[in-house]
Chain A
Amino acid sequence: MAFYVVQFLTGLASAASLFLVASGLSIIFGVTRIVNFAHGAFYMIGAYIAFTLTERLSGAFGFWGSIVLAAIAVALIGVLVEMVLLRRIYHAPELFQLLATFGLTLMVEDLVVLIWGPDDLVGRRAPGFRGAIDFFGQNIPSYDLFLIVLSPVVLGILWLLFQRTRWGVLVRAATQDRDMVAALGVNQKWLFTSVFAVGVFLAALGGALQIPRDAVHHAMDLRIIVEVFVVVVIGGLGSIVGAFVAAVLVSELNAFGILIFPKISIILVFLVMAVVLIVRPWGLFGKPEAPARKTPGLTVNPWRPLTSNERLMALAALVVAATLPLFAGNYALTVGSEIAIFVIFAVSLHFLMSVGGLASFGHAAYFGLGAYGVAFLAKMAGLPMIVCLLLGPLLGCMGAAVFGFFAVQLSGVYFAMLTLAFAQIVWSIAFQWVSVTGGDNGILGVWPERWAASPSHFYWLALGVAALVTVALRAMVFSPFGYALRATRDSLLRTEAIGINAKRIQWTAFVIAGTTAGIGGALFAYLKGSVFPDNLGISLSVDALVMVLLGGVETVSGAVIGAIVYKALNIWLVSQTDLSKLVLGGFIVLIVVVFPKGIVGMLEMLAQRRRKASPPGSPLLAKPIESAE
């Protein structure tokens, strides 16, 4: 019994940091509508700076002073980020903000290694809380007890801040209607900056308080951000009480999951999240969101099929690409194949995101399922390659059919979160079900047959499939199904009102996108000769998002270019520099700020402007687009 009590208390203690970081994320999202991916990075910097300060400043005052100083320092960094970067992109589509903060995260990951080195750093124990307390023969670290008391205190302070101060009233008002707050004479810019500072302060404090419990390392940002997303979604975006309850729930699930369901401990949390989202999509303490006011004219240039000239140009580009084996070496061809596969992957997500308006944060699940499908068929059933390639993606298709059915019941950020949860579930299964999937060791020896074994043959295969997939999806955009799908994207209610079963259309699109991603995954398995849980992982999902956004969300086929540029740059940077993440992150941030419409979107805009001298008022250049009345 005592053991369970101690386990419970350990869970409560881990909830403290989680709650601090999650409440910060929630507050920032509430007002600025930015899902701050960099929140984990701020948490990590908080831990690193606190580590350095506690090493320099001695004594109890030095330790606690360091924790607070670190949080304040990171909050100031946050203010800088908000003013220099985020202020420029508040009016951009919300995914762009996510992309920018993701770029920031990449940069921070390299920067902390540059500054603090790659090794784990073990921090000082907290003065006054070094020992443990005996509880019926079980030890409870006294620092854990401190953390257990701390989180309700912070909750209380935040409650007072939001309910009892003018600043809190303004923040709550801005959460609901920021334009109206400005129309009452409140300077939104500073309100946003201050909210961001508070949110980042909480994240950094969460990180700083972790150092007596856990080593500081350069991957702690991604680990926490995923958990924080889960907490915020279960608790309800924008609700601080919700963040508290969910942080406790998640931490206890982690603490007891290992004891009770060791086999599924990792997915337990995500299962709970998926159930919450399905039953109560706005979270336990959140409020159902009013249908967002659509910005008309999001796509200023109406989509059109390619003209015959453009078709010839695309064909010419394909022919040029097909000549690569004539002069390139094996390495270049392997890179080429990988890029072609990622074109398939990116195009499939682009179809779901840009055409269907459904931004999936877990698209890698279907890519990876396709890869595992191939690996199962090839290794266990021993089927020939062509059969595997045809049937493997069906696993992605089935996954998309099951998960998509639930996911399309939601929209916007919640859709993104649920897809993330599903992807995490699939990843955990692949990771934990060692007897079937090989777990972390993956499935090895999935090599192509002789006809496709040489790099040039495999390259042609990948290129051909990529071209086919792109053309097929593009044709679908301009088919009746594509019109219906775009209608659901632009207005779900109106689509239903003209007799279209919107959910079924979206579900179909989800399955199409998932299957297509599966095709990419199937080829990827053969390219690498192996399959690993990473093929379903979050970072791959994020890669796909970056490729789509880089190409341009508002374009028909920008993802093709986005995938080529991103993947090529990525591979090249890794070979050139140890700081590839820093450069790539900086590049992403730059793209978001300078070319918010993506590469292809920007080219289209230039072409458009050359065709006709800009009309008066130049609507294309105007950044904010108001809702017409």
Chain B
Amino acid sequence: MFADFPFLSILTLLPLVGAIVVALIPRQKSELAKTVALGWSLVVLVLSVVMWIAFKTGGDRFQFHESYAWIPSWDARFTFAADGIALVMLMLIAILFPVVILASWHDVEQSKRSAPAYFALLLVFEFTMIGVFAAADVFLFYVFFEVMLIPMYFIIGSFGGQRRQYAAVKFFLYSLVGGLFMLAAVIGLWVVGGNTFDFGKLTEIAGSIDQNTARWLFLGFFVAFAIKAPFFPFHTWLPDAGGAAPAGAAALLVGVMDKVGTFGILRYCLPLFPEASRWFAPAALVLGVIGIIYAALLAVGQNDLKRLVSYTSIAHFGFIGIGIFAFTSQAGTGSVLYMVNHGLATGLLFIVVGMFVARRGSNLISDFGGAGKLVPVLAGVFFFAGLASLALPGTAPFISEFLVLIGTFTVHPAYAVVATGGIILAAAYVLWMVQRTTQGTLNPALTEVPEMRKDITLREKVVVAPLILLIILLGFYPKPVTDVINPAVQATMQDVGVQDPGPTAVVANERVAR
């Protein structure tokens, strides 16, 4: 019944309109601005849910196709379409934004900045995020890929914590460097691909690109996505940006924005340059495995909560990376599922860390200690978020991590074995973090901070509840999501031209289904 409704273009534009409305609200009426922003993001959520229902599982790979003329002489069009991978990411965005807006309710009041500006920037950011996942035109994708830097740059730079200027500039320059590599590749692709940007047309001619050229073009795209994700060794901007950004924005940064990198690899690198993808896969796998171990080790040593969470995120992106480049359908499905689950789990962890930081006024673990005695419920939520992000069975990330590992093991046992070591390190950094902040003897300095005596508020409960519910629900019953992801991943693997080895795939799929 909804098949012809222009979901994607409306979904993309809606937050932009909301941003303009919020920006026009005068500075004094900050409550009104917040309410409008929250309401607007909820409307986006409702529309996304309707779209999810309208998506035909097992139907065409790309659905909700829309196309409008833009620059005819370059054959660049406003083309939108979503496959299962894009759909779940759009859903994640729609869920995380209202949560983050509610979580950031009092963020601006600490700085003397304007609340309407902050929430307008968040909505602009949502606009660019939805656009980048909904685009099915390489030019349009590139436009969103670059433009999304600008709201995040101002969010970090104007509303962040210490060293925010440094972090904002580093974030912007890293991403821009990646983006310019991609620009060169996009132009190159346009020239060798017969002067078109249409994703459908480009996949048709993908095999005919000269091998050497395709490898260079792949590299241009891959570097941009590897910086965005970030993969080792392009990761150094993330701890700075994640450490300096307001907690809610940091949750969006790692929860949604970084997924553009892995999504881009799945959507553009693999189908457009299949031969080059296979050729570069060993290198990408090595980078992924190094990232898992190296970032986990760094996370163990962090004393700054937000930086620590940023490093855990880099380790998780290592898992997503090896899942993608293992080229099996379980590993691929696991990776996409991981992208969703990581958004929920790390998003929750960042938001809870933000609640602690807002109370204590410090990011440093050493400024906490025994906080659980003062705020037991909040500490409990923190513990849960930590367990989810170390992929405890029963939480959603477990299933995705498991799928990635078995999917990788069938083809590259060595990498899978090393990556499994990352799980042990994950337990180490999460448990140590929880122990040093909330367990043990009470840090006497904490009792002197009046805010630390205030346990979780109603607003904060409303913020964390949907994320906790989803993490548990998807931990026991991921089928609705995997059913959407699976066909899209299999189609992508077909584009790359690889087959699943032996019968293990069947077993794994059954396990997921159960």
| A and B associate | no
Question: CB within 8 Å of A: which residues of B?
Answer: none
